[in-house]
Amino acid sequence: MRYHIKHTNPQKQRSNCLIVGIWAGQSLSPAAEQLDQASDGYLTRLLKRGDLTGDLGQTLLLQEMPKIAAERVLLVGCGKAEEFNAAAYRKMSMKVIAALKQTGAKEAVNYLTDLVVNDQDLHWKIRQAIQITSEALYVFDQFKSNKTNGKIVLNEMIFNVTDSRSIKQADRAVVEANAIVSGMQLTKNLGNLPANVCTPTYLAKQAQDLAKKYKSITAKILEKKDMEKMGMGALLAVARGSHQPPKLIVLHYNGAAKNKKPIALVGKGVTFDSGGISLKPAAAMEEMKFDMCGAATVLGTLLAMAELKLPINVVGVIPATENLPGGNATKPGDIVTTMSGQTVEIINTDAEGRLILADALTYTEKFQPEVVIDIATLTGAVIIALGTPASGLMSNDSHLVDALKKAGDASSDRVWQLPLWDDYQEQIDSNVADISNVGVGGGKVITAACFLARFTKKLHWAHLDVAGTAFLGGKDKQATGRPVPLLVQYLLDLAK
């Protein structure tokens, strides 16, 4: 899908389809007004007949409007102007692409950029429209005999800007959106792959492919013997039950001078989480192929960095392993020594994410990062707490919290902060080791983060629990590509 910016008159624009807005109460947007005048009041008469009230998300497709050069005009209800906020614009954009997909249009010119959205500018409108359009056109049919991909004919969308001075800002929005979309697509594709394909070795290969494709990216893969040398007892404990070798994937995006401290992104890469000896129930266990979505987010975000050529340094660290039961698997009650030297009693082998992240976070210290953000499908509890709208955010640095909240709001890929008070720490004390890998009592999202906090004392660190946001479960199970938009926005803000 290609996106462009133009400054044109709707009535004269040759196109397969123009997209214009109608407000509730049937008042016309600027582009609709122009079409109405050029067609001697055609739209006014049509609206009078009551075929479109202008309620949010309504659509009406017109063919060969009189005196209009375009083949089709898609009218879109925008609701009440005073209630037209970010959420309304996003909802409308979803309806637009759903309607457009039903037509034979190969190309469309979008005039919805002329609608005033409360608190949002042109740059935001274009970026959101592109992300939503690409989202709606995404299909994962690699394993289907009947491909749906070729059946979607739409391949170009042009956004109109009302004055030529806005073109530069609009072009920048297209560049950013394209990079975010490409990153999300990689993240989704990897997340959607079944675990028999997407193994730790496969993820490592993906990292190497990224490094081959982009000069600004380098990849290094650490093997089991390297982990043994570094004393990564927690990561190795999770990998023990599997025949697939674990990998520690290290990526560098080099966009700034070598001596500039990097931002570190650490992604949970459990390519399948059966729970291990603390075996999960069978229902929905197939969704645990998504337990590497944090890792996929790191890869997608680095791809976006390379596309945007941002003047910063980013290091990505991905501990990748399966979590399976096996004759050699870790048993409840086993005690292991982490790379940090702290010992952990593994009470429940299903709390494996925090184990592999503990060693990955300790390893990350060597890069002396400015900040570290880990991304992990860490707890089922965060789905209960926050559902799908927001990722859980916990951090030991209030500036980082503010920056991530701001980036989340700006990108509509939101986070919600949960406390990381010391009061919770005693819940993960063990009577035989330094730490237990599960917390007693409530607050399971927080006690999981408390565990990670014991390994990030030397770091400015934030933890994103994305179990509710990185994928959707159920019949239409699929990866969402989140939180790539959030992280790219955070890095864009930093690079400014």
What residue 381 binds from Zn ion, Mn ion, ligand BES, none (CB within 5 to 8 A, per partner kind)?
ligand BES
Annotation says 14 is catalytic: no
Among residues 24, 381, 393, 464, the one that binds ligand BES under rule CB under 6 A: 381
* Residue closer to Mn ion (CB basis): 203 or 207: 203
Q: CB-wise, 378 or 386, nearer to ligand BES?
A: 378
Give the shortest CB-291-to-Mn ion separation in angstroms. Answer: 7
Strand partners, 6: 160
| Catalytic entry in 188, 354, 444, 454 | 354
Does 353 bind ligand BES (CB under 6 A)? Our answer is yes
Name the closest residue to Mn ion (Cβ).
Answer: 350
Q: Does 352 bind ligand BES (CB under 6 A)?
A: yes
Work out whether 380 is an interface residue with ligand BES (CB under 6 A). Answer: yes
CA atoms within 13 A of residue 388's CA, in its CB half-sphere: 10
Q: How far is the CB of 302 from ligand BES (least distance, A)?
A: 23
480 binds ligand BES (CB under 6 A): no
Q: Does 273 bind Mn ion (CB under 5 A)?
A: yes
Nearer to Mn ion, 350 or 374 (CB): 350
The yes-or-no answer on residue 354 being catalytic is yes
Contacts of 251 (CB under 8 A, 6+ apart): 207, 210, 211, 217, 218, 219, 220, 298, 299, 302, 315, 316, 317, 318
Instruction: Assess 391 for contact with ligand BES (CB under 6 A).
Output: no
x/- track of binding to ligand BES for residues 407-446 (CB under 6 A): -------------------------------x-----x--
Closer Cβ to ligand BES, 19 or 381, answer by number: 381
Q: Quote the least distance from Cβ 327 to Mn ion, whole Å.
A: 20
Interaction between residue 291 and ligand BES (CB under 6 A): yes
Instruction: Establish if 468 lies at the interface with Zn ion (CB under 5 A).
Output: no
Instruction: Output the CA torsion 11→12→17→22 (10° steps).
Output: -20
- Residue 465 touches Mn ion, criterion: CB under 5 A: no
Site string for Zn ion, 255-284 (x = CB under 5 A): ---------------x--x-----------
Q: Which does 407 bind (CB under 5 to 8 A by kind): Mn ion, ligand BES, Zn ion, none?
A: none
Residues lying near Mn ion in the complex (CB under 5 A)? 273, 350, 352
**Residues labelled as active-site residues:** 280, 354
